[in-house]
Amino acid sequence: KAKISGKNTYRIFDNDMKKNNERTFIIQNDLRDAIKNNEFVLYYQPRIRTEDLKIIGVEALIRWVHPKLGLISPGEFISIAEDSGLIGNIGEWVLETACKQLAAWSKMGCKDLTMSVNFSALQFLQVNLQETVKTIINKCNVDPQKLEIEITESAVIDQDVGLQENINKLKEIGFQIAIDDFGTGYSSLAYIKKFQVNTIKIDQSFLINIIEDKSNEIIVSAVIKLAQALGLNVVAEGVETSDQFHKLKEMDCKEVQGFFFSKPLPKEEVEKNFLM
Ligand code: C2E
Ligand code: MG
Ligand code: MG
Ligand code: MG
């Protein structure tokens, strides 16, 4: 009996693998033309001020609307883009699209809104990053002070030579720098100093059970205090419940982001629900 079920299990696994391989193959294959075919879209997740629940900014999050596979999340294709050398072009598309949107919202009267954009660590290793980025912000006519580049901590690890130089160059242009998923990578504290970041985004994993789990509560509270003592902004990511929000408010966390306020939305819905 055990043998039969073992065999069945194996066969199911095998089919799943085949399906996954097919999907990965399609993704790898079609990614190259996705920009040209206009298949990427940015969603925007509001960043909310705890004090008065006002929107202070948005984070741009890429989605791929594939003609056959439908909506594909960045978790599934960003690493493929990195491996296949396409992340540079995709990153430029993201930055330019986000800058154009920021300019449009500024024109609409939302002049204080900030735009956060995720950068892959590989983008920081691009040789002409500074020129490329300057060209984009000039073309879109946006104030770099209103733009924040989010770097995922775990991505930083082995490559900090070119990275530090390029972060400095972006800071010279006027960009804000945020450490994303804070607390999940290595040497987090060293990065704060080394890269002179402006913002710490506390990883959502620390908010799980923040009400019952004393150690998570202590960690989050300590990070908030640390950030404040260093004069940095701190954002709690992945706030899903009213309890979490109130706990964070109690801890004096000034900015929050998460499904409790809004999931990432297409631009029209951001306008309708938050900007008008
Ligand atoms: P991230 O930058 O840490 O973004 C937060 C992720 O958590 C987003 O997933 C967002 O939809 C999700 N999220 C937000 N609030 C909640 C919540 O309350 N609960 C839960 N469970 N999840 C929440 P998404 O959009 O799938 O993006 C995943 C990751 O992909 C991002 O993590 C970021 O590292 C990367 N990414 C997204 N867009 C880009 C991009 O344009 N360029 C690059 N290089 N990476 C990107
Ligand atoms: Mg992010
Ligand atoms: Mg994050
Ligand atoms: Mg993340």
Question: What count of Cα atoms within 13 Å lies in the side-chain half-sphere of residue 181?
Answer: 12
How long, in residues, is the chain?
276
- 40: nearest Cα among 83, 84, 95, 85: 95
> Could you tell me if 178 and 200 are in contact, meaning their C-beta atoms sit under 8 angstroms apart?
yes
Choose the most confident range, by mean pLDDT, from 12-21, 210-219, 252-261. 252-261
Neighbours of ion ligand 2 (CB under 5 A): 118, 150, 180
List, for residues 18-56, the tens digit of each pLDDT value.
Answer: 778 899 999 999 999 999 999 999 999 999 999 999 999
Average pLDDT of span 222-239? 96
pLDDT computed for residue 5 by the predictor: 47
Average pLDDT of span 243-256? 97
For ligand 1, whether the C-beta of 88 sits within 6 Å is no
For ligand 1, whether the C-beta of 92 sits within 6 Å is no
List, for residues 137-171, the tens digit of each pLDDT value.
Answer: 999 999 999 999 999 866 655 555 677 888 899 99
Q: Would you report the helix, strand and coil content of the chain in percent, each value rounded to 5?
A: 55, 20, 25
Query: What is the best residue among 63, 84, 92, 118 to mutate for testing ligand 1's pocket, by most ligand atoms within 8 Å of CB?
Result: 118
CA of 119 to the centre of ligand 2 (A): 8
As a whole number, the mean pLDDT across the chain is 90
pLDDT computed for residue 155 by the predictor: 60
CA distance linking residue 186 with residue 179, whole number of Å = 12
Protein residue whose Cα sits closest to atom 42 of ligand 1: 118
Element (H, E) at 176: strand 176-182
List, for residues 51-98, the tens digit of each pLDDT value.
Answer: 999 999 999 999 999 999 999 999 999 999 999 999 999 999 999 999
> Could you tell me if 55 and 265 are in contact, meaning their C-beta atoms sit under 8 angstroms apart?
no
**pTM (predicted TM-score):** 0.93
- pLDDT class of 192 with cuts at 50, 70, 90: confident
Q: Say yes or no: ipTM exceeds 0.90.
A: yes
Q: What is the atom index within ligand 1 of the atom nearest the CA of 180?
A: 3
Question: What count of Cα atoms within 13 Å lies in the side-chain half-sphere of residue 127?
Answer: 0
Q: What is the longest distance spanned by two Cα atoms in the chain?
A: 69
Q: What percent of the chain has pLDDT over 90?
A: 75
- pLDDT class of 9 with cuts at 50, 70, 90: low
For ligand 1, whether the C-beta of 238 sits within 6 Å is yes
pLDDT computed for residue 27 by the predictor: 95
Dihedral sign computed on CA atoms, order 242, 244, 245, 250: positive
9-13, 78-82, 174-178, 180-184: the lowest-pLDDT one: 9-13
Burial class (CB in 10 A: 0-12, 13-18, 19+), 129: buried
